[in-house]
Amino acid sequence: MRYGFTTGSCAAAAAKAAAYMLLTGREKNKIIIETPKGIPFAAELVDIVRREQSVSCAVVKDGGDDPDVTNGIKIYAEVTMDMESDSPEIFLDGGKGVGCVTRPGLDQPVGNAAINHVPREMILREVQEVCRLCDFHGTLKICIYVPEGETIAQKTFNPRLGIAGGISILGTSGIVEPMSEQALRETIRVELRQRHAEGQEIVAVSPGNYGLDFMKKQFGYDLDQSVKCSNFIGDTIDMAAELGFSGLLLTGHIGKLVKLSGGIMNTHSREGDCRMELLAASAIRQKLPEECLRHILSSVTTEEALSYIDQMGKLQEVMGDMREHIEFYLKKRAAGRLEIECMVYSNEYGLLCATAGAKKLLGRLL
């Protein structure tokens, strides 16, 4: 699998190259930086514009074998010499297409450009190296900008996180490894941290927006306001506890949450499916006949399996059994670190079950 380089690495390379061209007067078509991971990045430079007091250039983002929506865009840096200042300072800011932080709890304070701290350090370090090489002791202003950034940001989590007007300049290692799951976990952590910084003591979590209309109609709750944990239910519980939340309400469709009744905390099918087997286990404990069990086990979807249970007049009992096991494993994972409640629904049957304190916790969220 081929790794790529982060927007932070691209910004650092572009800034270093622009500074080099400005201070030496020589054009450069390739520049090398050292990423925090220790892997050198030999960046090709495009769109070079040289003026007397400033130079700008761009690096094309290459996400390797784990490309995201920023893959192929140009990350620009403009470095300007401040002739009115004689103090050795380097200023860094974001320009067009780089988001601005508008809510607390993110890597940068409110009002700052969304250039995270590791990319900031990379950019400044690389430019400082050029200053030492050129024996320059004046003031430089660095502006990172992404002309396509505002449009591309609409396809990211930035609007949801309160980053307005563009993308974020990101990266902790400087390289993009083909590990989308880790990136998603970090996004979940960022959103949880933000909610906590805004003063929320309890947090609503759901795997996605499946059931959005049901939750709005039945409970007046906008599921879109919940933190989306995807398949990482166990990890999200751990993160919420570590960040200091006192309560967590998990809501979701039975197709994912039935897996919790077997202690499966990563609900991706490759980690473990067992949906029908777990439904059948609850049905066995409620003494449903063998024919019904066979129908459950041969079902393609949980909605189909529920129809067979409902035909036996045992839907409430089987869902109650499932709820007890879900509650057991959720509380086991939470380990007393926070209150945890759960609501499970289906498209056909609506609310299937809820733990004892779920509706009360939901009331605190409304």
Residue whose tokens read 């879109």: 224
Residue 328 backbone dihedrals phi, psi, to 5 degrees: -60, -50
Q: Tell me which range, 96-110, 238-252, 268-282, is most confidently predicted by mean pLDDT.
A: 238-252
Spatial neighbors of 291 by CB under 8 A, at least 6 apart, are none
Which of 144, 252, 257 shows the shortest CA–CA distance to 208? 252
Residue 179 backbone dihedrals phi, psi, to 5 degrees: -140, 65
Report, as an integer, the average pLDDT of 166-188. 82
pLDDT at 178: 64
Query: What's the burial of 147, exposed, middle or buried (CB within 10 Å: 0-12/13-18/19+)?
Result: middle
pLDDT at 19: 97
Percent of all residues in the chain with a pLDDT value above 70, rounded to a whole number: 98
- Mean residue pLDDT across the chain: 92
- For residue range 45-69, list pLDDT tens digits in order: 999 999 999 999 999 999 887 667 8
Judged against a pLDDT cut of 80, whether residue 269 lies above it is answered with: no
- Spatial distance between the Cα atoms of 344 and 350, rounded to a whole number of angstroms: 9
On whether the CB atoms of residues 165 and 150 are closer than 8 A, the answer is yes
Percent of all residues in the chain with a pLDDT value above 90, rounded to a whole number: 77
Q: Which two tokens stand for residue 47?
A: 């769109």
- For residue range 192-223, list pLDDT tens digits in order: 999 999 999 999 999 987 777 778 888 888 88
Helix crossing, 275-285 with 315-334: angle to 10°? 110
- For residue range 318-334, list pLDDT tens digits in order: 999 999 999 999 999 99
Judged against a pLDDT cut of 70, whether residue 179 lies above it is answered with: no
On whether the CB atoms of residues 127 and 142 are closer than 8 A, the answer is yes
> Which residues pair with residue 255 across a beta bridge?
none
